[in-house]
């Protein structure tokens, strides 16, 4: 149960950081190039080729952006990305210690 709350908390925190990162990344940067961003195919190739990460989940975020989670069960690395409507993909966060989970939600009315 504690692991589920931890996973949910991390997910919600990631979504909050993602929204902030997208907002800050869309601000004009020197040379019109946001930091930690690139065209989606290039970013995905880097994550899969260099880090061995594959997409483990995705969802819609603020302002019609797509949030994706990439991870490697072999190395334990993970990365959260946001893809903007124009195809630009930005790295939002990354880390180590990824563990896949497949927990079911408790039944309605269960005080778990």
Each domain of the chain, given as residue ranges in start order, spans 2-28+35-95
3-class DSSP assignment, residue 46: helix
pLDDT in tens, 4-39: 444 444 554 454 544 454 444 444 444 555 579 999
Q: How many other C-beta atoms lie within 10 A of the C-beta of residue 98?
A: 19
Nearest to residue 75, comparing CAs of 54, 101, 45, 105?
54
- The model carries a pTM of 0.65
For residue 52, give every residue at least 6 positions away whose Cβ sits within 8 Å of its Cβ, in sequence order, or none: 72, 74, 75, 77
Lowest mean pLDDT among 19-23, 48-52, 87-91: 19-23
For residue 11, the model assigns a pLDDT of 53
For residue 32, the model assigns a pLDDT of 55
Strand order in the sheet with 65-71: 37-39, 88-95, 78-83, 65-71, 54-61
pLDDT surpassing 50 at residue 58? yes
């Amino acid at each position: 149960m504690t692991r589920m709350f931890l996973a949910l908390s991390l997910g919600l925190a990631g979504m909050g950081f993602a929204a902030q990162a997208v907002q800050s990344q869309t601000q004009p940067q020197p040379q019109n190039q946001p930091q930690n961003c690139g065209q989606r195919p290039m970013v995905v190739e880097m994550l899969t080729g260099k880090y061995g990460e594959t997409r483990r989940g995705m969802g819609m975020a603020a302002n019609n952006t797509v949030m994706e989670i990439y991870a490697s069960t072999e190395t334990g690395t993970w990365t959260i990305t946001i893809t903007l409507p124009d195809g630009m993909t930005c790295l939002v966060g990354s880390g180590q210690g990824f563990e896949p989970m497949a927990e079911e939600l408790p039944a309605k009315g269960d005080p778990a």
